[in-house]
Amino acid sequence: MFGRRSSGDVKGRPAAAAAAMPPPSSTAPEPRAAARPAAAPARAPEPARRHSEEYYDVKTTVFNALIDTIDLTQLAKLDGQAAREEIRDIVGEIIQVKNVVMSISEQEELLEDICNDVLGYGPLEPLLARDDIADIMVNGASTTYIEVAGKMQQTGVHFADNQQLMNICQRIVSQVGRRVDEASPICDARLPDGSRVNVIAPPLALDGPALTIRKFKKDRLTLDQLQRYGSITAQAKTILEIIGRVRCNVLISGGTGSGKTTLLNCLTGCIDHDERIITCEDSAELQLQQPHVVRLESRPPNLEGEGEITMRDLVKNCLRMRPERIIVGEVRGPEAFDLLQAMNTGHDGSMGTLHANSPREAISRLESMIMMGGYNLPIRTIREMVSGSIDIIIQASRMRDGSRRVTHITEVLGMEGDTVTLQNLIVYEITGDDANGRILGRHRSTGIARPAFYERAEYYKEQHRLTEALAAAEVTDSTGNPLGDV
């Protein structure tokens, strides 16, 4: 039963030891066509180049000589460029002294490899340098997957062994003052570029450390791009723009990686520039373009288990900061209550995302978050609060072909008996698959000509654009009648 654990692979090391050199990556990984970047940025070498055995022998020799020569603590004080220069000089000398015969380009590659191992994230570097990757998933030393354009691909990236991988994990998390080892095997961190990192180490991860990186997108997608990708139609885009502008309270619902944060970011793009916006996030991802934004970020407890600032603390504090809109990156817990209160008390136009698979489920998730927050409110009161606060639920979905789509734009109308009533405005309907297995479908209006937020739209003089977009999104049946809601 314990046979799968690679015992002794991971030793609990203090953060300081993170700087200890990983052994050079000595395996020659198989390059896989699928893992090749379509357009790799200039800095990125091929992720899975196969080198001769000789190259790896030379690398090991040079690497070991370097470690003997170099003062690691001094090196750590230099900035990246200076440290590279230093390593370049020493490696050059070692190559001369050891009489290694190598072409200039081989030398450059060797240097790059060694710098990546010493200063950076080793075999991960080429993947980190690529802008087209959404996620990097390392499952132990010999298996690394990436997600590109919505599709999971296995790469040829290998680590020398689990120890090298663990050292790299350690180096990543020590940058944010944390530690990952047997005693605290789960850790969240962030790379300097904003990418989110999770590490779970043995003994919890049975086959070596599992490292997951959600790469930070320098340029978040825009509504225009979402339209180009077929995630929304022109009409749905117009409707979303209006929803964002006219200060509807919005929940964006969807599964992990379905594009919730992307949609939230797009919606914030429609906010007028004279509004004061406060964002609360667990790790800052939103990129608001408005001039008047205050960004807040929650904080996990430190090593001693102290100093935690929860999302709820942030949202509560936010209310004292005279916000006009509050944007909560992801609503996961009792802060749901405070967000709804804010929405109810003059901060309309507030927004948040939440993990649920349908608009209906989003409502029940909100209810249970509030119930579990210990507020001791009757369920009916909670429902009234939810239905009185939320105007619109936008459902995002990652489809089985890897594409991401908005599948519902739904209004929250009110209560009927004990049930919250919802009304779909736009739904995505799957009509079939094409020859390549891609999903075919259409976004269509459900025939609602005058949505509940019509008056709001009128106030902002957006009512004509709204009715036009809804009408244009209608699909009629053979007798010319709108198809209506499903």
Ligand X SMILES: Nc1ncnc2c1ncn2[C@@H]1O[C@H](COP(=O)(O)OP(=O)(O)O)[C@@H](O)[C@H]1O
Which positions lie near ligand X, rule CB under 6 A?
134, 150, 217, 221, 226, 229, 231, 254, 256-262, 404
CB of 406 to ligand X, least distance (A): 8
Closest CB to Mg ion belongs to which residue?
A: 261
CB of 210 to ligand X, least distance (A): 18
CB of 126 to ligand X, least distance (A): 18
User: Nearer Cβ to Mg ion, position 261 or 395?
Assistant: 261
**Do you know the residue count of the chain?**
486
Strand partners, 278: 294, 326
Considering only 162, 233, 261, 268, the residue that binds Mg ion (CB under 5 A) is 261
Task: Look at residue 319 and give the partner it binds from ligand X, Mg ion, none, a contact being a CB closer than 5 to 8 Å depending on partner kind.
Answer: none
Task: Look at residue 229 and give the partner it binds from ligand X, Mg ion, none, a contact being a CB closer than 5 to 8 Å depending on partner kind.
Answer: ligand X
Question: Taking contact as CB under 5 A, which single stretch among the options 95-103, 164-172, 257-265, 303-311 is the one that binds Mg ion?
Answer: 257-265
Interatomic CA distance for residues 447 and 425, integer angstroms: 7
Task: Look at residue 483 and give the partner it binds from Mg ion, ligand X, none, a contact being a CB closer than 5 to 8 Å depending on partner kind.
Answer: none
Largest CA distance in the chain: 87
User: Nearer Cβ to Mg ion, position 215 or 456?
Assistant: 215
Structure token digits, residue 390: 């939320």
User: Nearer Cβ to ligand X, position 27 or 287?
Assistant: 287
User: Nearer Cβ to ligand X, position 339 or 385?
Assistant: 339
Interatomic CA distance for residues 81 and 330, integer angstroms: 37
CB of 70 to ligand X, least distance (A): 37
CB of 5 to ligand X, least distance (A): 31
Name every residue whose Cβ is closer than 8 Å to that of residue 381 and which is 6 or more positions away in sequence.
Answer: none
* Residue among 208, 211, 165, 204 nearest 188 (CA): 211
Interatomic CA distance for residues 424 and 473, integer angstroms: 13
Inter-CA distances, 160 with 23, 29, 225, Å: 7, 10, 40
Structure token digits, residue 330: 């992801």
CB of 144 to Mg ion, least distance (A): 22
Cis peptide before 203 (omega within 30 of 0): yes
Name every residue whose Cβ is closer than 8 Å to that of residue 96 and which is 6 or more positions away in sequence.
Answer: none
CB of 194 to Mg ion, least distance (A): 13
Closest CB to ligand X belongs to which residue?
A: 259
Task: Look at residue 404 and give the partner it binds from ligand X, Mg ion, none, a contact being a CB closer than 5 to 8 Å depending on partner kind.
Answer: ligand X
CB of 249 to ligand X, least distance (A): 19
Task: Look at residue 259 and give the partner it binds from ligand X, Mg ion, none, a contact being a CB closer than 5 to 8 Å depending on partner kind.
Answer: ligand X
CB of 257 to ligand X, least distance (A): 4
Task: Look at residue 249 and give the partner it binds from Mg ion, ligand X, none, a contact being a CB closer than 5 to 8 Å depending on partner kind.
Answer: none
User: Nearer Cβ to Mg ion, position 209 or 352?
Assistant: 352
User: Nearer Cβ to ligand X, position 51 or 217?
Assistant: 217
Structure token digits, residue 460: 């902002």
Interatomic CA distance for residues 142 and 157, integer angstroms: 7
Structure token digits, residue 401: 């072909």
Interatomic CA distance for residues 293 and 95, integer angstroms: 53
User: Nearer Cβ to ligand X, position 209 or 259?
Assistant: 259
Task: Look at residue 257 and give the partner it binds from Mg ion, ligand X, none, a contact being a CB closer than 5 to 8 Å depending on partner kind.
Answer: ligand X
User: Nearer Cβ to ligand X, position 147 or 391?
Assistant: 147
CB of 260 to ligand X, least distance (A): 3
| Burial of residue 391 (number of CB atoms within 10 Å: 0-12, 13-18, 19+) | buried
Name every residue whose Cβ is closer than 8 Å to that of residue 187 and which is 6 or more positions away in sequence.
Answer: 169, 173, 178, 179, 180, 198, 199, 200, 201
* Residue among 236, 282, 290, 283 nearest 263 (CA): 236
Helices 359-372 & 379-389 angle (0-180, nearest 10)? 130
Binding mask 211-250 for Mg ion (x = CB under 5 A): ----------------------------------------
Interatomic CA distance for residues 27 and 144, integer angstroms: 14
How many chain residues interact with Mg ion (CB under 5 A)?
Answer: 1
Task: Look at residue 226 and give the partner it binds from Mg ion, ligand X, none, a contact being a CB closer than 5 to 8 Å depending on partner kind.
Answer: ligand X
Q: Can you tell me whether residue 151 is helix, strand or coil?
A: strand
Task: Look at residue 424 and give the partner it binds from ligand X, Mg ion, none, a contact being a CB closer than 5 to 8 Å depending on partner kind.
Answer: none
User: Nearer Cβ to Mg ion, position 5 or 355?
Assistant: 355
CB of 216 to Mg ion, least distance (A): 12
Q: Can you tell me whether residue 355 is helix, strand or coil?
A: strand
Contacts with Mg ion by CB under 5 A lie at 261
